[in-house]
């Protein structure tokens, strides 16, 4: 089943890569939240192909979803282009993300960066892979030696708190990165490039594909208060596990 999903995502990736260096029709979903015709084309392709593989599942995509409460099981979350702003500006951190949820947990996760040709995938109990090779989280055991990733929400109402967290992270880590694609941040954490990733105000399609990739690579994903993350929260911490308690303590000191 994972191979079937991966094959669909790879084919959809050709739509994204064909538009990366091309002129684009850009629309605004919000003041700074963008969408292009390639988002729509890719999402429609993914929905059509995945529905044939999972005929009884509800498929929810970023660009065509209806507002309201989402199902907690037998659902597929799709982000056709995670990092649309990067895509528009020619920054090569863009990804297609697919997460298949059964029994409230992600069963299959596939994230593909068609620009760099990196395919991340995982299935419950089977490990995580990048282009078919196993990946594992890092072994960094202290924040001062860690490279941390984060992102910022489109809404700026919580900015003072986020800036305070950022200030403390900069003081207590080796550095911080902001790539602009949550699914890739999760995959880079799974691969041991980042030691920890945190973000707030995410949507299910941002997280669904990458959560299982982190966990199957040996990492931990929780809510900001340390409780298990099961897709019912819009904020998360993903880490190699060794840094989790130290980072939670840092957040507790800021609150």
SS3 string, 186-224, reads HHHHHCCCCCEEEECCCCHHHHHHHHHHHHHCCCEEECC
Chosen domain end from 77, 100, 134: 134
- For residues 92 and 114, give the distance between their C-alpha atoms in angstroms, rounded to a whole number: 9
CATH number for the domain harbouring residue 118: 3.30.540.10
Rounded CA separation 40/38 (Å): 5
Select from 108, 134, 160 the last residue of a domain.
Answer: 134
What's the number of domains the chain is made of? 2
Annotated binding-site residues for Mg(2+) read 62, 79, 81-82, 206
User: What pLDDT sits at residue 74?
Assistant: 92
Residues 22 and 113 in one domain: yes
* DSSP single-letter state for residue 174: S
**Same domain for 20 and 107:** yes
Cα distance between residue 177 and residue 125, in whole Å: 30
Q: Where are the alpha helices (DSSP H) in 1-110?
A: 2-20, 37-53, 84-89
pLDDT tens column, 147-188: 999 998 777 777 888 999 999 999 999 999 999 999 999 999
Where in the sequence is the domain holding 177, given as residue range(s)?
143-254
Catalytic residue numbers, as ranges: 62, 79, 81-82, 84, 206
CATH number assigned to the domain comprising residue 247: 3.40.190.80
Please state, in angstroms and rounded to a whole number, the distance separating the CA atoms of residues 149 and 82.
16
- Are 119 and 151 part of one and the same domain? no
Q: Which of 109, 134, 159 is the last residue of a domain?
A: 134
pLDDT of residue 159: 83
Binding residues: 62, 79, 81-82, 206
Q: Which residues of the chain have pLDDT under 50?
A: 32
Task: Verify that 149 and 225 share a domain, yes or no.
Answer: yes
Q: Are residues 124 and 8 part of one domain?
A: yes
Q: Are residues 175 and 124 in the same domain?
A: no
- Same structural domain for residues 149 and 130? no
Residues 214 and 254 sit within 8 Å (Cβ to Cβ): no
Look up the pTM and report it.
Answer: 0.94
């Amino acid at each position: 089943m994972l191979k079937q999903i991966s094959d669909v995502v790879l084919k959809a990736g050709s739509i994204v890569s064909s538009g990366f260096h091309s002129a684009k029709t850009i629309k605004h979903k919000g003041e700074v939240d963008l969408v292009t015709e390639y988002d729509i084309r890719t999402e429609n392709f993914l929905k059509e192909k995945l529905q044939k593989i999972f005929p009884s599942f509800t498929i929810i995509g970023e660009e065509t979803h209806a507002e309201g409460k989402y199902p907690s099981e037998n659902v597929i979350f799709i982000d056709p282009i995670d990092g649309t702003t990067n895509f528009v500006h020619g920054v090569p951190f863009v990804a297609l993300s697919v997460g298949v949820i059964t029994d409230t947990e992600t069963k299959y996760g596939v994230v593909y960066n068609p620009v760099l040709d990196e395919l991340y995938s995982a299935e419950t109990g089977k490990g995580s892979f990048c282009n078919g090779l196993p990946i594992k989280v890092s072994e960094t055991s202290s924040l001062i030696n860690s490279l941390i990733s984060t992102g910022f929400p489109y809404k700026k109402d919580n900015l003072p708190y986020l800036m305070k967290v950022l200030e403390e992270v900069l003081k207590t880590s080796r550095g911080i990165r902001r790539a602009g694609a949550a699914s890739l941040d999760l995959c880079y954490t799974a691969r041991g490039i980042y030691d920890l990733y945190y973000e707030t105000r995410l949507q299910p399609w941002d997280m669904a594909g990458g959560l299982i990739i982190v966990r199957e690579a040996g990492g931990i994903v929780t809510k900001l208060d340390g409780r298990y993350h099961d897709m019912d929260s819009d904020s998360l911490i993903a880490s190699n596990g060794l840094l989790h308690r130290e980072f939670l303590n840092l957040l507790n000191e800021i609150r």
